[in-house]
Amino acid sequence: MLQHELTHRFVSFHFPSAPVWLREGLAEFWESMEVRHGLLYFGGTVRTSVKPTRFQDLLKLRGAEFYEGDEFDVHANYVAAEALTYVMYFQHRDRFNTYLNGLKSGADAKGAWREAVGPTLTELENDYYRFFRERGTLARLPAPSVDAPVDIAELTASEVHTSWASLFQARDPARARREAELAVQLDELSAEALIMRARLALAAKQHVQARADLERALALEPPRSIAFAAALRFSLVTGERLSLPNKVLAERLLLFKLKPSQSALVAEHLRREGDFERGITLISQAIRADSSCFYCYATGSRLLEDKGDLALAASTLRIALSLAGERATGEDWERLHDLEAAAARELRSEN
């Protein structure tokens, strides 16, 4: 799961225009990686006994469409996305690299695909179906060696402890708090360390500590988007105000190139201010940048509900909950049920 989620972050940063099949395909592909006897093995998670999504249909799926349908349809989409990624990586490597380089250079997804694969699309489609016909349940295969330059940056001691705090914040909060404390002690001017300690304090309902760390992070130079985002999140969650009002925090955040989750924060602020159209525009851009961002879909659902589009709000929330997986609570599903019921009543009244 860690490999899967890290891949999503990598893809969103380097290939923001990547189609949903590539986002999920790469995430599933790298999640399948195993290291045994000095070799990398891929593809062990592909279950080729599953009837896959048709090749052409897979390529046409956009954003939310990938996650719609019953669990068998969605599972088939994931299997198909990983299989196509696998086939391109191992059997069409040059074309795959050309496609990825096109996306990274800023080309639109369709143009990059046409340039890289266009003349050989039929060959790729045949290899895709052959993959399922010939392999049965796929055994793990060793990846060929790849000679690629790797830039290595040495982490400071504070950065190491901040990273450990991030990894442990969900499963061992006490360990995470100790790591964050060490990180701040080692570097009191680290925005990352201060914000991590503030995030853990907020989770423990220690608002005074969280507020103090966030104010310190906001005062650092140069200004950091993560500081503005963390401060805005604190204010939205607690209802408490910091030295900078929410409007200023949101405006300063918009001066940066935002991550989708940061865009969702600003969109939530706009929702509370009643600026639904601007909020929906921002959250739509975030979802296009990262169709796996369940916070984005959840925020979009609230915006649509407040605007009065109950049917679309319900369908957007259903996507959010499917992406959230185990993070979705009973209250979340109850809200979905209520939204769908309200949308059904509205439809009946209109008829």
- What confidence category does residue 228 fall into, taking pLDDT thresholds of 50, 70 and 90? very high
- Predicted local confidence at residue 112, as pLDDT: 86
| Residue 186 clears pLDDT 50, i.e. is over it | yes
Task: Report the pLDDT averaged over residues 248-266.
Answer: 93
- What confidence category does residue 49 fall into, taking pLDDT thresholds of 50, 70 and 90? low
Q: Are 19 and 61 in contact (CB under 8 A)?
A: yes
Which residue shows structure tokens 């349809």? 73
Task: Report the pLDDT averaged over residues 2-27.
Answer: 80
CA distance 24 to 42: 15
Provide the edge-to-edge strand list for the sheet that holds 34-36.
34-36, 39-42, 141-142
Report whether CATH 3.40.50.1400 matches the domain 274-351: no
- Predicted local confidence at residue 167, as pLDDT: 79
Q: Are 109 and 103 in contact (CB under 8 A)?
A: yes
CA distance 146 to 208: 50
What three-state secondary structure class fits 307? helix
| Residue 138 clears pLDDT 50, i.e. is over it | no
Work out the mean pLDDT of the chain and round it to a whole number.
85
Looking from the CA of 140 toward its CB, the CA atoms found within 13 Å total: 15
- Predicted local confidence at residue 10, as pLDDT: 77
Chain center to CA of 3: 12
Task: Report the pLDDT averaged over residues 54-65.
Answer: 85
Domains 155-256 and 274-351 share a fold: yes
Tell me which of 336 and 147 has the higher pLDDT. 336
Q: What is the CA radius of gyration of the chain?
A: 22
Tell me which of 250 and 35 has the higher pLDDT. 250
- DSSP letters, 198-250, are HHHHHHTT-HHHHHHHHHHHHHSSS--HHHHHHHHHHHHHH----SS-HHHHH
Tell me which of 127 and 212 has the higher pLDDT. 212
- Predicted local confidence at residue 15, as pLDDT: 79
Q: What are phi and psi of 324, to 5 degrees?
A: -70, -30
Task: Report the pLDDT averaged over residues 42-57.
Answer: 71
- Predicted local confidence at residue 272, as pLDDT: 96
Tell me which H or E stretch contains 58. Answer: helix 55-60
- Predicted local confidence at residue 149, as pLDDT: 47
Structure tokens at 104: 């990274």
Tell me which H or E stretch contains 141. Answer: strand 141-142
Boundaries of every domain in the chain: 2-142, 155-256, 274-351
CATH top class, domain 155-256: mainly alpha
- Predicted local confidence at residue 1, as pLDDT: 59
Tell me which of 126 and 148 has the higher pLDDT. 126
CA distance 349 to 351: 5
- Predicted local confidence at residue 347, as pLDDT: 86
Report whether CATH 1.10.390 matches the domain 2-142: yes
- Predicted local confidence at residue 42, as pLDDT: 64
